[in-house]
Amino acid sequence: MTPALEVRGLRAGRVLVNDLSFTVGSGETLVLLGRSGSGKTTTLKLINRLLEPTAGEVHLAGERAADLPVTRLRRRIGYVIQEIGLFPHFTVERNVGLVPRLEGWPPARTAERVRELLDLVGLDPRQFSTRYPHQLSGGQRQRVGVARALAADPPLLLLDEPFGALDPITRVELQREFRTLEGRLGKGVVFVTHDVREGLLLGTRIGLMHEGRLAFLGTPDEFRSSDHPECQAFMSAA
Amino acid sequence: MNLVQFYAEHSGEVLGLIGQHLYLVAISTSVAIAVGLPVGIALTRRPRWRGPVLGLANVVQTIPSLALFGFLIPLPLIGGIGARTAVVALVLYGLLPIVRNTYTGITGVDPAVREAGRGMGMTDRQLLLMVDLPLALGVILAGVRIATVVNVGTATIAAAIGAGGLGVYIFRGVAMVNDALILAGALPAALMALAADGLLGLAERRLAWRPK
Ligand SMILES: Nc1ncnc2c1ncn2[C@@H]1O[C@H](COP(=O)(O)OP(=O)(O)OP(=O)(O)O)[C@@H](O)[C@H]1O
Ligand SMILES: [Mg+2]
């Protein structure tokens, strides 16, 4: 089966991101772990071409990303940015239904899809559809962000610290829910975090970024027992 | 002679001047929007032009209005005595607030929101129409309001180059040292400025998205 995402020899700038290669299968979650400034966000932006790679290739579900029109590529990749970036002047319903709308779905189908997704992320559609982002708590906003990324049923999800700015309890709650969601969705997921515990909980594989390179790539168990100094630094911080 | 009596005796003339005044302001503000909005948008796409364009618009703004009217008169096509020259001058004055507010409004949109839009596959056009303009609308309308209110005042000076409007009474009153006549022109102009300010302020509050 073609992987949801295949990255080969990806590079940006001279050292910003250097020689990244990995694949993410459907139903798999690759956690990108790394210190602040190690190139995690940059890597995600290279995948959906918010930044153009200086070398290397990205394949989305078997298609070369560079060959697709950039808007088409991005509509097939669910993306939750680090700051969430909900549209403040759109209701929850319009936020979540954005990509279907861009793709010209009939309104009834979009509305149905939005209800389904709000249910999926644990927000009652009757209560939340017509609210605006400023009328939501931080945790609810994160949920809307995830629902919005899932809207057009993309084969790949890029999540940039989606639970970053939450209190520890809400954070654990969302992590648990996401874990059960992962299995059901059957999508390729690239999940960026700098929280090792979160990474080990949610990742089927862990990629550790260090100064723009992938210093380690393996299963959570391999990560725990790795003698790579950067892995150990992270494990001792957990 | 009191004001009420004056208006009663000259009602036809007063209404005519008010009409001229409204015409000068409406035409010039519309043109300033039609030109200023695209220019402001273009500046956000070409930041390198920002300095020169806003600088030029600033310089125009500092030219005393009577002098600007005077400079325009000898110019071919746009110059001459009359309303056309006045409209050109008023357009020039109206441009700065509209260009500047369009630029500031759009650049003030949360970069995270724009990035989310781009990252989700909006085209440049969709980003402009669905994100940038709606979120900047309040600031843009504030620019339109400033342009309109300033032009209601500046348009009184248009009478000096034969463009008519309420300035006719003011200039005549100054020449005749007649306070009542000055007031006969100044009062409706002031009310017009207040009305424009109020109405556009209302539009700003009704149309523009704002948090909380
Ligand atoms: N637009 C840019 N131009 C040049 N350098 C950039 C740009 N954006 C980020 N960088 C640099 O690239 C490096 C990697 O940044 P990146 O945002 O990918 O880090 P990160 O791993 O996501 O960090 P964090 O955990 O803090 O979000 C940093 O050194 C940063 O300063
Ligand atoms: Mg980052």
Compute the mean pLDDT over every residue in chain A, rounded to the nearest whole number: 91
pLDDT in the model for residue B1:
60
- pLDDT tens per residue across span B66-76: 888 888 888 88
Of A106, A129, A153, the one marking the end of a domain is: A153
Q: For the sheet with A29-34, list strands across it.
A: A77-80, A156-160, A188-193, A29-34, A205-210, A213-218
Same domain, A130 and A192: no
pLDDT in the model for residue B27:
96
pLDDT in the model for residue B76:
83
Overall pTM surpassing 0.90 (yes/no) = no
Same domain, A147 and A160: no
Compute the mean pLDDT over every residue in chain B, rounded to the nearest whole number: 92
- pLDDT tens per residue across span B189-212: 999 999 999 999 999 999 887 764
Whether chain A has a CB inside 8 Å of the CB on B211: the answer is yes
Same domain, A22 and A68: yes
How many folded domains does chain A comprise? 2
> What is the Cα–Cα distance from A62 to A187, expressed in whole angstroms?
14
Same domain, A225 and A209: yes
Q: Which ipTM value was assigned to this complex?
A: 0.90
Same domain, A51 and A163: yes
Same domain, A168 and A238: yes
Question: Is residue A174 in some structural domain?
Answer: yes
Same domain, A162 and A72: yes
- pLDDT tens per residue across span A76-114: 999 999 889 999 999 999 999 999 999 999 999 999 999
Of A153, A170, A194, the one marking the end of a domain is: A153
Parent domain of A193: 1-76+156-238
Compute the C-alpha angle B20/B191/B90, nearest 5°: 45
Mutation choice for A interface testing from B120, B129, B137, B212 by most A CBs within 10 A = B120
Q: In this complex, how many residue pairs, one in chain A and one in chain B, have their CB atoms less than 8 Å apart?
A: 61
Question: Is residue A81 in some structural domain?
Answer: no
* Residue-wise DSSP of B17-59: HHHHHHHHHHHHHHHHHHHHHHHHHHHHH-GGGHHHHHHHHHH
Q: Is the CB of A36 under 6 A from ligand 1?
A: yes
Bridge-based pairing of strands A205-210 and A5-12 is unpaired
Q: Considering every ligand atom, which ligand is closest to the CA of A40?
A: 1
Q: Per the structure block, which two tokens stand in for A46?
A: 């290279």
Of A129, A153, A177, the one marking the end of a domain is: A153
Same domain, A166 and A101: no
Same domain, A101 and A46: no
At residue A131 the predicted structure's pLDDT band, cuts being 50, 70 and 90, is very high
Beta strand segments in chain A, E: 5-12, 17-24, 29-34, 55-60, 63-64, 77-80, 156-160, 188-193, 205-210, 213-218
The residue whose CA is least distant from atom 16 of ligand 1 is A39
Residue B124: closest C-alpha in chain A: A71
Residues 92-151 of A with CB under 8 A from B: 98-99, 102, 134, 148
Question: Is residue A52 in some structural domain?
Answer: yes
Helices (H), B63-178: 65-72, 83-107, 111-119, 124-126, 133-154, 167-175
